[in-house]
């Protein structure tokens, strides 16, 4: 009898684990550090059979994972490049983008910095290295420390496209692994400047500078008036299906929109 | 405004403003403007952009429309390679174990160029030509040196073919398969083989004749594909002045491929190669080539990179008779079996990508056709076993560096090389090191 009960228990356990479905999501740190894990938790609460594997190591890794077939969803804070689309196509993969949210890359400086506003030209000059001291922009003298994301980051590329006229970053700029690290460094360094997603604008020790009079907030991003506003993507191989589709549908639900909003992103409709 | 109209509007606008769209690559400014004006939603804009980008990026070299003739489009492509090669392949011209020149080492500086064009016609027809350096069937290398002279720098046709391919083939209205491919002329062979440089069929050797391929997908179960292939090739033409006769090579293969997940699967593709007569390494015309080979591979991703494990086992069913003639009067053990076993890990197709690989080979004296064997391993001769190691790195999406090392030893030390080319592992070992820099354009 005992053996029978144990066997039945083992079978039930096996069936239960077979029912569990894992969703593998890789890519953007901007999306994967806060927003997607919170969405995943809420989705799991409604779908107990689903588990998540989330790796946030940069948009490039997410797009590559779709091409390689190692993820169900590739998070990307930038659009896939032509070469990435071509590579995917040669492997029989059709990269399909779904805009899941919008974001604005905010320009942050240390709270002690005397600058209170900037122009787009100023931002370009700082990050390309055309100016290297705050005094060149009318601020208090001090060598500018520009913090950027690393090259695997979609934000790194998007900022280059949107804010730097596609010019190269200054050699002296310092590459950080994620938004949190940039915000932390700028918060500690009175001469620091960086850019982070809207979810990180409330970090301690920093302040957000308006650019040409525009701030990265929900209204400006929705109206596309903020110059560094951009869509965030989920890429899938073909149109989303199965659990991936269910998860994306959840993001577009009122509950999903609420989480996206609370984390600091602008929900996509 | 309905969705179809929006898409049509976007595409028409993109075509009208061809210059800027092509320069941007994805029609970005135009789509941005349509999104900003509310003609398209952001999501619709992204879908159109992704489709346009895929179309543009999947036509390397660009497609030129030749609307006024039968040619619908032309794809021009090419590649070049600079190579440093060290080799030491001493020949053994008398048996037993006498080596004429035990140290035949040399350093060579070589290059190759291949320039091709594919012409697309209507109704699934295509034609192609490719010019390439060097004259040999299994090599496209020309040597540098000679104080800047151009000796040996001539280009020859490596491919001249007509191809019909369809993903919905039908005969008298009856659909008989999921794909059909017919190639006529001098063309790349369609057979599945594995290993460095194609192992039993050197990747540089393009057969002359006809190849057919018929495929069925999802046979019985999802992702199980079966492909039949056939080839009839001319290896020598009749010439009354030299009393040469028409000779041919026939090949047949059935490939079964199953993918249990994306980029994870198995291939098994047994094949039969029969030749009426062929030039062996002693220069004689020999028949006795009826090779059964079973190449196979398993592939899947390990730590996000592709791993491929592959191997081949084969036998010349007439290997004993072939060796009896080829090595008459010599010890003739181990004469019919050929095999390889290896792996590749990673991919060097895109910038920053890398791959490594290693392979073991075993080719008995009468087991294979030296006209087709990879010419970099033991000079393409039989009676050899050994290892190959390769490593590649992609400096950009189209510039790749590769290092390869081939190390072969005789299986039967008492057999002479029987080669007229003064190369081969007759001295006990044949070693080749290649350092390549290649670029595609």
User: Cβ separation of A268 and B42 shorter than 8 Å?
Assistant: yes
Interface test with A, best of B45, B46, B355, B398 (most A CBs within 10 A): B46
- Top residue of B35, B50, B167 to mutate, by most chain A CBs within 10 Å, is B50
Query: For the segment A205-256, what is each residue's pLDDT rounded down to a tens digit?
Result: 999 999 999 999 989 998 888 999 999 999 999 999 999 999 999 999 999 9
- The ipTM, to two decimals, is 0.74
Find which of A67, A86, A95, A221 to mutate to test the B interface (most B CBs within 10 Å of its CB).
Answer: A86
Chain A residues with CB under 8 Å of B36 CB are: 224
Report the 10 Å Cβ neighbour count for B170.
11
Quick check: A82 and B397 CB within 8 A? no
Beta-bridge mates of residue B161: B128, B185
pLDDT at site A124: 94
| Averaged pLDDT score across all residues of chain A | 88
Does the pLDDT at position A5 exceed 90? no
Measure CB to CB from residue A97 to each of B50, B263, B304 and give the nearest one.
Answer: B50
Rg (CA), chain A: 21
| Predicted local confidence at residue B371, as pLDDT | 84
The C-alpha atoms of residue B192 and residue B5 are separated, in whole angstroms, by: 46
Q: DSSP alpha helices (H): ranges in B3-125?
A: 3-16, 18-24, 28-36, 42-57
Q: Which residues of chain B have pLDDT under 70?
A: 1-27, 56-70, 72, 91-102, 240-244, 278-286, 329-332, 334, 416-428
DSSP assignment of chain A: -HHHHHHHHHHHHHHHHHH-EEEEEEE-HHHHTTHHHHHHHHHHHH-TTEEEEEEES-HHHHHHHHHHT--SEEEESSPPPHHHHHHHHHTT--EEEEEEEEEE-EEEEETT-----B-HHHHHHHHHTS--BGGGGTS-S-B-EEEEE-TT-HHHHHHHHHHSTTPPPPTT-EEESSHHHHHHHHHH-TTEEEEE-GGGTT-TTEEEEPBTTB--SHHHHHTT-STTEEEEEEEEESS--HHHHHHHHHHTSHHHHHHHHHHTPEEP-
Rounded distance between C-alpha atoms, residue A114 and residue A110, angstroms: 9
Do residue B349 and residue A87 have CB atoms under 8 angstroms apart?
Answer: yes
Q: Quote the CA–CA distance of B50 and B26 in Å, as a whole number.
A: 8
Binary contact (A83, B57; C-beta < 8 A): yes
Exposed, middle or buried, A123 (CB in 10 Å: 0-12/13-18/19+)?
buried
Nearest CB neighbour to A68, from listed B26, B47, B304 = B304
What pLDDT score does B30 carry? Answer: 79
- B302 at the A interface (CB within 8 A)? no
Tokens of B237: 């033409």
Q: In which element (H, E) is residue B326 found?
A: helix B319-326
> What pLDDT shows up at residue A84?
83
Share of chain A above pLDDT 70, in %: 93
Q: Is B61 on the interface with A (CB under 8 A)?
A: no
HSE-up of B313 (CA within 13 Å, CB side)?
A: 1
For residue A48, what are the contacts with CB-CB under 8 A and spacing of at least 6?
A: none
Tell which wins on pLDDT, A163 or B261.
Answer: A163
Please tell me the predicted confidence (pLDDT) of residue B14: 47
Interface A-B: count of C-beta contacts within 8 A:
64
> pTM of the prediction?
0.55
pLDDT in tens, B311-346: 999 999 988 888 877 777 666 676 899 999 999 999
A38-65 confidence digits (pLDDT tens): 999 999 999 988 999 999 888 888 999 9
A122 Cβ contact list (under 8 Å, min separation 6):
A131, A137
Q: Which two tokens stand for residue B326?
A: 């080829």
Q: What spatial distance separates the first Cα and last Cα of chain A, rounded to whole Å?
A: 57
**Which pLDDT value is given to residue A150?**
84
B47 contacts chain A (CB < 8 A): yes
Q: Are A87 and B36 an interchain contact pair (Cβ–Cβ within 8 Å)? A: no
Set of chain A residues whose Cβ sits within 8 Å of the Cβ of B349: 87
């Amino acid at each position: 009898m005992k053996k029978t009960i144990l066997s039945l228990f083992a079978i039930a356990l096996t069936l239960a684990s077979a029912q569990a479905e894992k969703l593998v999501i890789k890519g953007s740190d901007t999306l994967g550090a806060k927003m997607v894990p919170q969405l995943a938790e809420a989705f799991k609460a409604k779908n107990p059979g689903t588990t998540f594997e989330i790796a946030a190591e940069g948009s490039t890794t997410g797009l590559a994972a779709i091409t390689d077939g190692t993820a169900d969803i590739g998070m990307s804070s930038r659009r896939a490049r032509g070469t990435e689309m071509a590579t995917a196509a040669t492997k029989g993969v059709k990269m399909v983008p779904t805009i899941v949210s919008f974001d604005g890359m905010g320009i942050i400086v240390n709270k002690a910095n005397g600058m209170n506003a900037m122009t787009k030209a100023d931002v370009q000059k700082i990050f390309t290295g055309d100016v290297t001291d705050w005094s060149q922009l009318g601020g208090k003298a001090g060598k500018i420390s520009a913090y950027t994301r690393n090259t695997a980051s979609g934000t790194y590329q998007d900022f280059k496209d949107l804010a730097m006229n596609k010019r190269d970053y200054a050699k002296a700029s310092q590459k950080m692994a994620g938004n949190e690290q940039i915000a932390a460094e700028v918060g500690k360094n009175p001469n620091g400047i960086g850019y982070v997603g809207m979810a990180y604008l409330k970090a301690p020790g920093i302040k957000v500078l308006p650019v040409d009079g525009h701030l990265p907030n929900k209204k400006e991003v929705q109206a596309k008036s903020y110059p560094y506003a951009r869509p965030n993507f989920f890429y899938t191989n073909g149109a989303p299906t199965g659990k991936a589709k269910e998860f994306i549908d959840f993001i577009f639900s009122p509950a999903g929109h609420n989480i996206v909003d609370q984390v600091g992103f602008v929900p996509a409709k | 405004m309905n969705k179809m109209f929006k898409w049509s509007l976007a595409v028409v606008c993109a075509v009208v403003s061809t210059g800027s769209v092509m320069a941007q690559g994805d029609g970005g400014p135009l789509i941005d403007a349509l999104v900003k004006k509310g003609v398209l939603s952001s999501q619709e804009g992204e879908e159109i952009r992704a489709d346009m980008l895929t179309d543009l990026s999947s036509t390397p070299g660009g497609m030129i429309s030749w609307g006024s003739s039968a040619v619908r489009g032309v794809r021009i492509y090419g590649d070049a390679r600079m190579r440093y090669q060290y080799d030491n392949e001493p020949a053994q011209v008398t048996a037993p174990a006498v080596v004429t020149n035990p140290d035949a080492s040399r350093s060579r500086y070589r290059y190759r160029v291949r320039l091709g064009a594919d012409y697309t016609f209507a109704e699934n027809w295509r034609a192609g030509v490719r010019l390439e350096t060097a004259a040999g069937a299994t090599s496209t290398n020309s040597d540098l040196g000679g104080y800047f002279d151009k000796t040996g720098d001539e280009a020859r046709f490596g491919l001249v073919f007509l191809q019909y391919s369809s993903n919905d083939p039908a005969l008298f209205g009856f659909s008989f398969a999921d794909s059909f491919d017919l190639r006529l002329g001098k063309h790349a062979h369609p057979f599945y083989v594995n290993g460095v440089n194609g192992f039993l069929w050197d990747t540089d050797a393009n057969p002359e004749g006809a190849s057919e391929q018929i495929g069925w997908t999802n046979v019985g179960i999802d992702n199980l594909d079966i492909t039949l292939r056939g080839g009839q090739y001319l290896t020598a033409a009749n010439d009354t002045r030299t009393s040469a006769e028409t000779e041919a090579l026939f090949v047949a293969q059935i490939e079964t491929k199953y993918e249990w997940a994306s980029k994870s699967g198995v291939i098994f593709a047994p094949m039969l190669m029969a030749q009426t007569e062929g030039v062996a390494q002693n220069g004689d015309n020999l028949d006795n080539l009826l090779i059964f080979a079973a190449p196979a591979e398993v592939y899947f991703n390990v730590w996000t990179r592709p791993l491929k494990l592959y191997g081949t086992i084969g036998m010349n069913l007439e290997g004993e008779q072939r060796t009896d003639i080829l090595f008459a009067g010599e010890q003739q053990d181990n004469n019919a079996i050929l095999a390889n076993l290896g792996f590749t890990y990673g991919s060097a197709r895109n910038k920053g990508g890398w791959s490594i690989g290693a392979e073991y080979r075993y080719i008995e004296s009468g087991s294979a056709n030296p006209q087709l064997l990879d010419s970099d391993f033991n000079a393409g001769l039989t009676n050899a076993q050994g290892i190959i190691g390769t490593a590649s790195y992609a400096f950009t999406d189209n510039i790749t560096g590769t290092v390869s090392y081939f190390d072969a030893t005789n299986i039967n030390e008492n057999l002479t090389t029987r080669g007229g080319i003064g190369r081969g592992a007759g001295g006990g070992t044949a070693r080749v090191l290649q350092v390549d820099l290649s670029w595609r354009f």
